[in-house]
């Protein structure tokens, strides 16, 4: 018998409906995100200034996740769903209001301290480099530190909306952030030559403004979903204690993530002045298929996983783990190969202004190697949500500690060697991600197998194999088309429009061969894509 959601539809219908909404919103956000990155590439290129900006911009995210973000992302939703089920809507609102008030006070203080101690925090990302060259990063970070507060409040607001299966505003909100940042980089480019100080101030103010708008745009949806916030603090709330108990292992997970990123940035700075910006530009393409394919699945399924645990439905929980993991492997394995094939074309889209041909090649090389980690990364984020819903995040934290030690050792021992070609060191940094997520996925799977028995390892492995089987022909066809067009029609290097045209032509062919065939054969793993495709066709026919 099919599971039924609160709206009366089956679980599959609910998840597919939610995933479709998220996918469309994420696609729109990513389109504006591309123009945001292009504006940055045009204005700054892959230079030391770009690295200074990236370090200062990424640090608030890392600090937020380390200090409280892990707890909010992984613990809030399961506890809120459980509290609402036990105490009703009013009880859920009281818990959310209490946690939101505490978060505002705590992160407000943290943001202020981070701004004061900016030089010391920037040092954690550049300890292998001369600190006298870090003044610009310090300047930016003093302004960007307030983003920590905005991220925290935004996470709770998004979690509340997601718990009510209202995924639209939390998914579309980054679009408005992107628009403001685009305007910020345009402003920087206008004044960079005539008034460089003003240009830097434009970035310093525009960046946190974009994050604030991303939060503010979601607030009206709270009232529409019957969520009433009453600012107060109650340390005796048992739901807060449960959140904190889940938050401790989440804090450990974020500490390990912070350590890994810090070592990656420091090693990249040591290899090349623009090393961190190379990583940042590559990850923007790396996270595109993750955002379009994995985020809709993991976000929608996290709500369902939490509901299954709250309702003590072990069979539904096990089925959701297997279904989500199978879909993630099947969808992301082909896209990992596509990223490798399209790397040069994709990065060449940034080839304008200060972004040179050397920058294109350096970022493309890194993208090829980091792409290998995409399937393991996507599944790992889902497993983290799984362990959170299961109230076993402490085990996931232990696995993270093990994998962090492996990756840091791997990076520091190998990436910092005096290789004849410095691209080798950057490639080693990228491969460290595959090591981390691959081992972590394996450890998580072993625990689930011991706990639940044969919960679906064979079907998961079969879906991964199918991902390879369907993906290889599509990747090879795309590579052949690009090589043919580049050699016999028009070279694409240095030409943004030609690169875009080749991406479209070869991309459509690759998608048709890989996923068109899978949809035609009615493979269950491709159901999210098939659902989106069917909805689009239905709208066109109207």
Res. 18 pLDDT band, cuts 50 70 90: low
What's this model's pTM, rounded to 2 decimal places? 0.75
Mean pLDDT calculated for residue range 321-346: 94
Q: CA 529 → CA 22, 54, 467, distances in Å?
A: 12, 33, 14
The pLDDT of residue 536 is above 70: no
The pLDDT of residue 84 is above 70: yes
Separation of alpha carbons 11 and 317, rounded Å:
12
Residue 15: its pLDDT value, please?
60
Short-list 319, 408, 380, 353, CA closest to 37: 353
Short-list 203, 196, 56, CA closest to 138: 56
* Strand (E) or helix (H) holding 442: helix 422-452
276-299 pLDDT, tens per residue?
889 988 988 998 888 888 877 777
Residue 532: its pLDDT value, please?
60
The pLDDT of residue 537 is above 70: no
- Max avg pLDDT among 45-54, 165-174, 263-272, 301-310: 263-272
Q: Where are the alpha helices (DSSP H) in 117-237?
A: 118-123, 135-144, 147-163, 168-191, 196-216, 219-224
- Within 10 angstroms of residue 411's Cβ, the number of other Cβ atoms is 25
3-state secondary structure of 431: helix
Lowest mean pLDDT among 76-85, 116-125, 442-451: 76-85
Residue 19: its pLDDT value, please?
67
Separation of alpha carbons 49 and 136, rounded Å:
8
Separation of alpha carbons 89 and 85, rounded Å:
8
Res. 451 pLDDT band, cuts 50 70 90: confident
Res. 492 pLDDT band, cuts 50 70 90: very high
Q: Where are the alpha helices (DSSP H) in 292-392?
A: 295-310, 314-348, 357-370, 374-389
231-260 pLDDT, tens per residue?
988 888 888 888 887 778 878 888 888 889
Separation of alpha carbons 410 and 407, rounded Å:
5
Q: Retrieve residue 469's tokens.
A: 């089987």
Share of the chain above pLDDT 70, in %: 90
Residue 17: its pLDDT value, please?
66
Residue 530: its pLDDT value, please?
66
- Within 10 angstroms of residue 512's Cβ, the number of other Cβ atoms is 14
Cβ(391)–Cβ(78) under 8 Å?
yes
Cβ(369)–Cβ(431) under 8 Å?
yes
Residue 1: its pLDDT value, please?
39
The pLDDT of residue 125 is above 80: no
Cβ(494)–Cβ(361) under 8 Å?
no
Q: Long-range contacts: 139-142, Cβ < 8 Å, 24+?
A: 139/56, 139/200, 139/204, 140/52, 140/53, 140/56, 140/57, 140/200, 140/203, 140/204, 140/207, 141/55, 141/56, 141/59, 141/60, 141/114, 141/115, 142/115, 142/118, 142/204
Q: Retrieve residue 151's tokens.
A: 């991220």
Lowest mean pLDDT among 116-125, 454-463, 529-538: 529-538
3-state secondary structure of 4: strand
Residue 3: its pLDDT value, please?
47
Cβ(509)–Cβ(478) under 8 Å?
yes
Q: Burial of 430 by CB count in 10 Å (0-12 exposed, 13-18 middle, 19+ buried)?
A: buried
Cβ(137)–Cβ(122) under 8 Å?
yes
Mean pLDDT calculated for residue range 329-333: 94
3-state secondary structure of 390: coil
Mean pLDDT calculated for residue range 211-220: 93
Separation of alpha carbons 516 and 529, rounded Å:
10
- Max avg pLDDT among 67-76, 122-131, 276-285, 383-392: 276-285
Kindly state the DSSP code that residue 542 receives in the 8-state scheme: -
How far is residue 297 CA from its own chain's centroid? 13
Q: CA 378 → CA 26, 286, 364, 375, 424, distances in Å?
A: 16, 11, 21, 5, 25
Cβ(176)–Cβ(237) under 8 Å?
no
Lowest mean pLDDT among 109-113, 390-394, 465-469: 390-394
């Amino acid at each position: 018998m099919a599971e039924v959601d609160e709206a009366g539809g089956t679980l599959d219908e609910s998840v597919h409906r939610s995933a479709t909404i998220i996918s469309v919103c994420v696609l729109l956000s990513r389109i504006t995100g591309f123009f945001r990155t292009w504006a940055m590439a045009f204005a700054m290129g892959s230079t030391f200034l770009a690295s200074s900006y990236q370090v200062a911009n990424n640090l608030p995210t890392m600090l937020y996740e380390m200090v409280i973000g892990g707890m909010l992302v992984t613990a809030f939703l399961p506890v809120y769903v459980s509290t609402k089920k036990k105490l009703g809507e009013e009880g859920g609102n009281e818990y959310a209001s209490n946690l939101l008030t505490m978060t505002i006070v705590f992160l407000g203080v943290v943001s202020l301290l981070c701004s004061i101690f900016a030089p010391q925090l920037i040092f954690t990302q550049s300890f292998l480099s001369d600190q006298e060259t870090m003044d610009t990063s310090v300047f930016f970070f003093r302004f960007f530190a307030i983003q920590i507060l905005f991220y925290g409040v935004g996470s709770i607001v998004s979690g509340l909306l997601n718990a009510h299966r209202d995924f639209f505003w939390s998914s579309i909100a980054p679009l408005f952030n992107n628009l403001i940042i685009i305007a910020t980089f345009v402003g920087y480019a206008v004044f960079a030559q005539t008034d460089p100080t003003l240009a830097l101030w434009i970035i310093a103010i525009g960046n946190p403004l974009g994050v604030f708008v991303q939060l503010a745009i979601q607030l009206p949806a709270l009232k529409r979903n019957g969520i009433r916030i009453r600012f107060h603090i109650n340390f005796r709330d048992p739901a807060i204690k449960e959140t904190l108990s889940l938050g401790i292992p989440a804090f450990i997970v974020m500490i390990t993530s912070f350590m890994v990123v810090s070592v990656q940035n420091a090693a990249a700075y040591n290899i090349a002045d623009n090393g961190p910006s190379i990583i940042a530009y590559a990850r923007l393409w790396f996270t595109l298929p993750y955002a379009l394919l994995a985020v809709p699945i993991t976000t929608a399924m996290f709500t369902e996983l939490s509901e299954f645990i709250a309702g003590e439905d072990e069979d539904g929980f096990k089925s959701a783990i297997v279904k989500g993991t199978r879909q993630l492997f099947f969808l992301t394995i082909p896209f990992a190969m596509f990223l490798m094939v399209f790397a040069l074309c994709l990065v060449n889209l940034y080839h304008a202004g200060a972004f040179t041909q050397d920058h294109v090649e350096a970022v493309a090389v890194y993208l090829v190697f980091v792409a290998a980690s995409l399937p393991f990364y996507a599944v790992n984020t889902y497993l983290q949500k799984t362990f959170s819903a299961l109230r076993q995040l402490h085990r996931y934290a232990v696995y993270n500690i093990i994998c962090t030690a492996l990756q840091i050792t791997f990076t520091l021992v190998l990436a910092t060697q005096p290789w004849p070609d410095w691209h080798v060191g950057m490639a080693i940094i990228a491969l460290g991600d595959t090591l981390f997520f691959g081992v972590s996925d394996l450890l998580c799977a072993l625990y689930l197998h011991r706990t639940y028995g044969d919960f679906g390892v064979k079907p998961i492995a079969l879906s991964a194999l199918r991902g390879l089987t369907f993906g290889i022909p599509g990747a090879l066809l795309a590579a052949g088309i690009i090589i043919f067009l580049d050699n016999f029609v028009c070279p694409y290097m240095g030409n943004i429009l030609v690169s875009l045209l080749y991406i479209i032509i070869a991309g459509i062919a690759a998608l048709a061969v890989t996923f068109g065939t899978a949809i035609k054969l009615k493979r269950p793993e491709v159901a999210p894509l098939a659902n989106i495709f069917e909805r689009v066709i239905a709208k066109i026919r109207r």
